[in-house]
């Protein structure tokens, strides 16, 4: 065994596995509707793509400083000020290759071996393994549908130990779509700041997809929480730029400078071409962001009402992101036409894939069952057809 031991307990990403499965079935000629991927279906806005092309044409294709171009860091500071009323200097921000690398850098920068990171479930599937890869211990706290999939101060307090170092707050949340209110964040903040070493990793990548309430990020709550929070974000979801790989963060200068150090020895900096495109995204017209939010809201309303009409499925209305997280609890124990009993949400996912040609992701992958994650980042026609197929498949269950 030549691989490091900690990788023995680290499996492959269930979302990536679901996407591979879809690709294989499609290649075999099956008409699969995929509601598995967390990716906006729009093209990158033209003015942003053009900024990338212009960078290539102008020869802006060389190394930049490890923390990103100063112009990009200034654009990030401007974005935090404009959208979040947060003030960071250019030494307090960093750009990396996607939000994923920002989170990885933040974990390397903060976690000592065996320190704990609290992860409210349901969570984005990558968090626990990212923590394990970086020698930390994920502490999963299940947040029930009764509390709208949100962490309560009482739960946070109960999870704290003298090894706790990090708390993940992902609002709007993937996969639940839960959005924390100002009061909820303030109450959690009281617990955070009463602990001597707790740092909040605020994952705001779905910031611009919030429907019926105001978006607020933990660092905005008060100066004590600001000093303890790494606010991370990315252009991936907001500007439909998943492939450009630009993420960014603002936070306490010592942590951000450590993240710079890590990046200098690993990837150096995100793609120079993408950095130029990200400057255009963050400083240019924000019309696309608002238009996408309106479209996602229409899709949310459609998919939730169609899902709630299906016997056996119950879907709470998500307040943000572009996922529905319906309970499939009432389908468990039923028999498929092939005589198999549906025992858990993975069985339900597989049944819908095989019987209805609809790909979803099972709740266990997000740490809370029995649910399915349904991405509605696809057209209303496909969403309507997918729900019709799921309904038909449910009707075949005994
Ligand atoms: N955080 C959450 C909650 C996500 O869902 C994702 C992507 O799916 C990311 C972070 C990472 O985004 P990216 O690396 O594309 O910027």
Distance CA 290, CA 299 (A): 15
For the chain, what percent of residues have pLDDT higher than 90?
A: 93
Mean pLDDT score, 200-228? 97
Q: Could you tell me the pTM of the whole model?
A: 0.97
pLDDT tens digits along 94-105: 999 999 999 999
Residue whose CB lies within 8 A of the most ligand 1 atoms, among 76, 125, 237, 323, for a mutation test? 237
Q: Residues with beta carbon inside 6 Å of ligand 1? A: 38, 98-100, 124, 170, 174, 203, 205, 234, 236, 242, 247
Give 37's pLDDT tier (boundaries 50, 70, 90).
Answer: confident
Residue whose CB lies within 8 A of the most ligand 1 atoms, among 15, 205, 247, 275, for a mutation test? 205
- Cα 99 to ligand 1 centroid, rounded to whole Å: 6
178 pLDDT higher than 90:
yes
Mean pLDDT score, 62-87? 95
Mean pLDDT score, 334-350? 97
Mean pLDDT score, 13-33? 89
9 pLDDT higher than 90:
no
Mean pLDDT score, 313-328? 97
341: which strand partners? Answer: 335
Looking at ligand 1, which atom is closest to the CA of residue 97? Answer: 14
pLDDT score for 12? 82
Mean of pLDDT over the chain: 96
pLDDT score for 15? 81
Mean pLDDT score, 318-337? 97
Mean pLDDT score, 125-135? 95
Two tokens at 222? Answer: 């008060």
Give 68's pLDDT tier (boundaries 50, 70, 90).
Answer: confident
394: helix, coil or strand? helix
- Cα 397 to ligand 1 centroid, rounded to whole Å: 35
pLDDT tens digits along 222-278: 999 999 999 999 999 999 999 999 999 999 999 999 999 999 999 999 999 999 999
For the chain, what percent of residues have pLDDT higher than 70?
A: 100
249: helix, coil or strand? strand
17 pLDDT higher than 90:
no
pLDDT score for 18? 82
Distance CA 55, CA 336 (A): 55
- Cα 23 to ligand 1 centroid, rounded to whole Å: 21
pLDDT score for 8? 86
DSSP states of 49-110: HHHHHHHHHTT--S---TT--HHHHHHHHHHHHHHH-----GGGEEEESHHHHHHHHHHHHH
């Amino acid at each position: 065994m030549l691989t490091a031991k900690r990788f023995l307990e680290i499996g492959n990403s269930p979302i990536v596995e679901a996407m591979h499965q879809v690709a294989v079935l499609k290649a075999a000629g099956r008409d699969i509707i995929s509601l598995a991927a967390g990716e906006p279906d729009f093209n990158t806005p033209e003015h942003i793509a053009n900024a990338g092309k212009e960078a290539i044409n102008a020869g802006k294709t060389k190394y930049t400083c490890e923390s990103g171009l100063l112009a990009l860091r200034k654009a990030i500071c401007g974005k935090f000020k404009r959208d979040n009323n947060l003030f960071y200097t250019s030494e307090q921000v960093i750009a990396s290759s996607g939000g994923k690398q920002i989170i990885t850098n933040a974990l390397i920068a903060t976690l000592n071996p065996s320190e704990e990171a609290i992860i409210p479930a349901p969570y984005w599937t990558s968090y626990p393994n990212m923590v394990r890869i970086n020698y930390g211990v994920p502490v999963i706290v299940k947040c029930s549908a009764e509390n709208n999939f949100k962490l309560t101060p009482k739960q946070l307090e109960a999870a704290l130990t003298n090894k706790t170092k990090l708390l993940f707050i992902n609002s709007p949340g993937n996969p639940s779509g839960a959005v924390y209110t100002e009061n909820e964040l303030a109450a959690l903040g009281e617990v955070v700041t009463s602990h001597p070493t707790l740092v909040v990793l605020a994952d705001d990548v779905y910031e611009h997809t919030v429907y019926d309430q105001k978006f607020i990020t933990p660092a905005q709550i008060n100066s004590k929480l600001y000093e303890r929070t790494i606010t991370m974000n990315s252009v991936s979801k907001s500007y439909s730029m998943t492939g450009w790989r630009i993420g960014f963060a603002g936070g306490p200068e010592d942590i951000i400078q450590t993240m710079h150090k890590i990046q200098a020895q690993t990837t150096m900096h995100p793609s120079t071409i993408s950095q130029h495109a990200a400057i255009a995204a963050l400083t240019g017209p924000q019309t696309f962001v608002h238009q996408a939010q309106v479209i996602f809201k229409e899709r949310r309303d459609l998919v939730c009402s169609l899902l709630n009409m299906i016997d056996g499925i119950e879907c709470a209305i998500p307040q943000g992101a572009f996922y529905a997280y319906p309970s499939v609890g009432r389908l468990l124990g039923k028999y498929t036409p092939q005589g198999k009993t549906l025992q858990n949400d993975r069985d339900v996912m597989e049944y819908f894939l095989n019987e209805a040609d609809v790909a979803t992701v099972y709740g266990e992958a997000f740490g809370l069952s029995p649910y399915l994650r349904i991405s509605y980042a696809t057209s209303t026609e496909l969403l309507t057809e997918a729900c019709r197929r799921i309904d038909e498949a449910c009707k075949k269950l005994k």
